[in-house]
Structure 1
Amino acid sequence: MRIQIHKIYFIIFFLPFFSNCYFNPVVNGILNPLEEENNNSFLGLLGLAQGTSNLMITGQIRNPNGVVMLGLGLTPSATANNIKSTSPYMTDAGGRFYLPYQSGRISFDVSQNGSPFFTLILNVLNPNGITAETVGAPAGLEISNLRTISGSETSTFFELVNAYILDGESNEIPLHNAEVSNWIPAFFFAFTEPTIPALTTGPLAADWISQNISISPAASFDNFMIVTGNTLSVAPMSLPGPAVYEITLKSGILSATGKSLTPRTIRFTYNYAP
């Protein structure tokens, strides 16, 4: 009889504990892992970021001529709230910066060769909603390709550094936003890494160019190209009269290591009339 009384006392004592387990979020997460997973999915549908600790914000800075600006320092402004670092972040060979993900309005003092350059302000609504403002930047300076990536993706980008033509003394003239009044014998495209078009002349070269480089208004390219280090050059057959032209380099252009090019459009005004 005493044994039975002890059993009843044991059951009565532990009933409140088991009855509260369902409402205890810690215990519930252990006993109901599927329900916890569904809760996280539901929070994701609400737009509440989960696991952003490994996310980075990336973007590019180009000068008014469309040339990437490498070696710029981005230092969190003294007035910035909840900053994750006070050390400067540097733009790489593709003009890209990589910043730890943080939501809100974030301000950075941008320096060039150690001297103050301009202020960059990022408005981060969520991982898919990022816009940029600048204060004191030169007219036409570009902040582009803003997005979030995982920390492991920082070395996966292949970029166009500059698009240019040569003058009579072989000086480089950046093509983007330029006004060109002379005949153009060739376009030159400099990348962050060597590219890999294996054939440099003939019909297959012409096919490669037509698939990966487009120009508007419509114009044709010659059927050869030259690859020297990180630079690819192609020659236009003709540019039909004065116009504002757009040349688009597409993601089908690959680096020697297999990275796809970040697509880029170059605009220039052509005033040459033979």
Structure 2
Amino acid sequence: MSLSFFLVSTSGCYYHPLWQSILNPAEESSEQIKQLGLLLGVSSLGTDIYLVAGQIRDPNGVAQANLELINKSIAANKKNTSPSYTTDVGGRFYISLGIGKHSFDVYKEGLLYFELVIEVLSANNVQLVSALQGMEITLAIIEPNQIGSEFDLVDSFPKNNTNIYSTINPMQLYFSEIPEFVASGSTFQSWAFDKIVIIPSIGSPPFEGNMVVTGNRMDIQMAYSFAMNTPYTIFITGIKSVSGKTVAPRMIRFCYEPSIPCVFSN
């Protein structure tokens, strides 16, 4: 079963090739698949049941951890207590579903946040039907051995789709795991040149010769200033965790001290 991954906004839907990072994973044994099915609340993962991986972020790209998803479809069809699923630190969840539409009530801190409706169309096609306006939802059908393989940027300063009215120094990146530390000086400059791209350029090199890693947070000192009334895009890719995972690519858009606030569209 091959991986199909979509980056979806509630104001639009588009295919993003950066998420096609894992192709034709190794097949799991029937016993492993059975055990995963029991773990996820189904008797087996057969030809009619697929493992759906999802991720929920708010409009500013912040991963939504500890959300509870309650499957309304199962509750209605089976007339019993509906199973719930909780998002991890990266805002990710894993649910076994069959072909068709599935509705979930999503709760945040015990309060109803929004309704999520997704549809499994085939063994390699899952799509968003509806969610809260502006939320960023990613969906994929994966193999069981891919659970836990992700390394995510979960928050940042600056945040995505924001207007900034204060000095951006240092840039702060928050990850789902501890990021790999890179030495200062020329080694860091070479690393940063490949891993963090700022458009338009703020200078060369754009960073000072050091970084600080505190737990899951990475602070990077900026060497040059951002220009007022200017929209910027930061591309982040290739950063690794101490466990060797590579971060899922992210894009951060913001305006620096605009006279008229920028309005971002997905």
Matched, 1:204 2:187: yes
Normalising by structure 2, we get a TM-score of 0.71
Matched, 1:180 2:161: no
Instruction: Give the number of the structure with larger relative contact order, counting CA–CA contacts within 8 Å between residues 6 or more apart.
Output: 2
CA distance in 1, matches of 2:152, 2:47: 26
Residue 52 of structure 1 deviates from its aligned partner by 4.1
**Unpaired runs of 5+ in structure 2?**
1-44, 260-266
Matched, 1:149 2:142: yes
Taking the TM superposition and a 5 Å limit, the aligned residue runs for 1:218-237 are: 218-219=201-202, 220-237=206-223
- List per-residue Cα deviations over 1:83-141 (Å, max 9, x = no partner): 9x921011111100111032211111111122211110102212332221335x2x422
Matched, 1:194 2:164: no
Q: What is the DSSP-based 3-state SS (H/G/I as helix, E as strand, rest coil) of the residue aligned with 1:101?
A: strand
Q: What is the DSSP-based 3-state SS (H/G/I as helix, E as strand, rest coil) of the residue aligned with 2:223?
A: strand
2:65 counterpart (43, 66, 70): 70
Moved more, 125-134 or 90-99: 125-134
1:132 counterpart (128, 134, 152): 128
2:52 counterpart (57, 74, 82): 57
Taking the TM superposition and a 5 Å limit, the aligned residue runs for 1:5-154 are: 51-52=46-47, 55-78=50-73, 86-135=82-131, 137=132, 139-144=133-138, 146-154=139-147
**1:73 counterpart letter in structure 2:** E
The question of whether the paired residues in 1 share the 8 Å contact of 2:233 and 2:253 is answered with yes
**2:156 counterpart letter in structure 1:** A
4+ runs of 1 displaced by more than 6 Å? Answer: none
Change (3 A) 1:52 1:226: farther
Residue 258 of structure 1 deviates from its aligned partner by 0.8
Q: What is the DSSP-based 3-state SS (H/G/I as helix, E as strand, rest coil) of the residue aligned with 1:260?
A: coil
Q: What is the DSSP-based 3-state SS (H/G/I as helix, E as strand, rest coil) of the residue aligned with 2:247?
A: coil
CA distance in 2, matches of 1:111, 1:156: 25
Normalising by structure 1, we get a TM-score of 0.70
1:163 counterpart (156, 169, 173): 156
The question of whether the paired residues in 2 share the 8 Å contact of 1:244 and 1:268 is answered with yes
- List per-residue Cα deviations over 1:7-66 (Å, max 9, x = no partner): xxxxxxxxxxxxxxxxxxxxxxxxxxxxxxxxxxxxxxxxxxx95467411111112221
Residue 228 of structure 1 deviates from its aligned partner by 1.2
CA distance in 2, matches of 1:105, 1:124: 6
Residue 157 of structure 1 deviates from its aligned partner by 0.9
State how many pairs are aligned.
210
CA distance in 2, matches of 1:203, 1:270: 28
**Structure with the higher helix share, 1 or 2:** 1
The structure with more radius of gyration: 1
Matched, 1:263 2:241: no
- List per-residue Cα deviations over 1:148-194 (Å, max 9, x = no partner): 111222111111110025xxxxxxxxx21211122322110010111
- Identical amino acids, percent of aligned pairs: 33
The question of whether the paired residues in 2 share the 8 Å contact of 1:183 and 1:272 is answered with no
